[in-house]
Structure 1
Amino acid sequence: MPLIEKPKERRITPVIPSRRNRCYPRQIRFPLCKKRNETGRFFARLKQFRGIATRYDKLLSTFLAAVQLVFAIIGIN
């Protein structure tokens, strides 16, 4: 069974586009693909902050506060 069939069985919409040279390209929704790209880029920027990437904070509340602070910094820039 191909890898793409398992998410379809669970009613998960694939958002990764297929290769251009594929004989029968998969149909995807580009707004979902765009949102996936934005989310991936956000997490890449979030990981640039060392304290977040290595999770120095032991308590969940302080870690979430640090994530919110970094999110605000990224949003300002």
Structure 2
Amino acid sequence: MLSAEAYGSNALRATIASMNVLAVIPSNLFRMISIPHDAIAYKHRNLIERRFRRLKHFRRFAIRYDRRTIHFTGFVHLAAMMIWLR
């Protein structure tokens, strides 16, 4: 787990840039020079992370009882529908 200081560090941003990926990390409030970020992309990324967290509440998903991909995928679809209908 990254600490709050390492979350938006230059080293992390350089690692992400070396993967040819655009970093969607907001600047720390205490940074001297603020680094702009795409707030809409950050919001969508946050929503996706929240959905995965809710999926992990299903024990079958978190432990991955289903070894066959077709069964696991089917359960992911079922769990996603159950979360969506709440």
Consecutive unaligned residues in structure 1, runs of 5 or more: none
CA distance in 2: counterparts of 1:6 and 1:16, whole angstroms: 13
Consecutive unaligned residues in structure 2, runs of 5 or more: 1-9
Size of the aligned set, in residue pairs, is 77
**Structure 1 residue 59 corresponds to structure 2 residue 68:** yes
Shift in Å at residue 6 of structure 1? Answer: 2.9
Match in the other structure for 1:20: 29
**Structure 1 residue 37 corresponds to structure 2 residue 38:** no
Instruction: Determine which of 50, 54, 79 is the counterpart of 1:70.
Output: 79
**Which residue identity does 1:44 align to in structure 2?**
R
Displacement over 4 Å in runs of 4+: none
TM-score norm. by structure 2 comes to 0.82
Identity %: 31
TM-score norm. by structure 1 comes to 0.90
Instruction: Determine which of 8, 12, 16 is the counterpart of 1:3.
Output: 12
Mean alpha-carbon deviation: is it higher for 24-33 or for 4-13? 4-13
CA distance in 1: counterparts of 2:66 and 2:22, whole angstroms: 35
CA distance in 1: counterparts of 2:79 and 2:12, whole angstroms: 35
